[in-house]
Amino acid sequence: MENFKVKVVHKFLASHYLKNYKGKPEPLHKHNYRVEVVIEGNLNGEEYVVDFLEVKSYLEKLLPDNINLNELFDGNSTSERLAQWIFHKVKERFSGVKEVIVWETENFAAIYTSS
């Protein structure tokens, strides 16, 4: 049986702050985030795993530009927590999600995978 992985990338500008960074709240600041979602599966009747445009559209609605990440979920809005949150949100719609990578900068990323 063939198995494929596809990746959809979404970039957005967002603000956030860490609630307890080295003992005190961090100032609100922005990053140009890059999110990569990896979905695994077999080819469907249309010869693709998932419609790229459906995944991209879902990510655009979930993570629009100029969002404040601290308003999305409880806890600190770290890249790790954001990757986990995105993973579970996307998995509600696309069952084959295997990995989410959140790039906070071009040098720093957090990865959340299914176990």
DSSP 17-68: --SSBTTBPPPPEEEEEEEEEEEEE---TTSSSS-HHHHHHHHHHHS-TTEE
What is the 8-class DSSP label of residue 13? E
Q: What is the pLDDT of residue 69?
A: 96
Question: How many structural domains are present in the chain?
Answer: 1
Q: What is the pLDDT of residue 89?
A: 97
Average pLDDT along the chain, 115 residues, taken 10 residues at a time = 88 94 90 98 89 97 96 90 97 96 97 89
Domain range enclosing 94:
4-113
pTM comes to 0.93
Q: What is the pLDDT of residue 2?
A: 67
Q: Across the chain, which distance is largest between two alpha carbons, in Å? A: 54
Q: How many CA atoms lie within 13 A of 111 on its CB side?
A: 6
CATH of residue 96's domain is 3.30.479.10
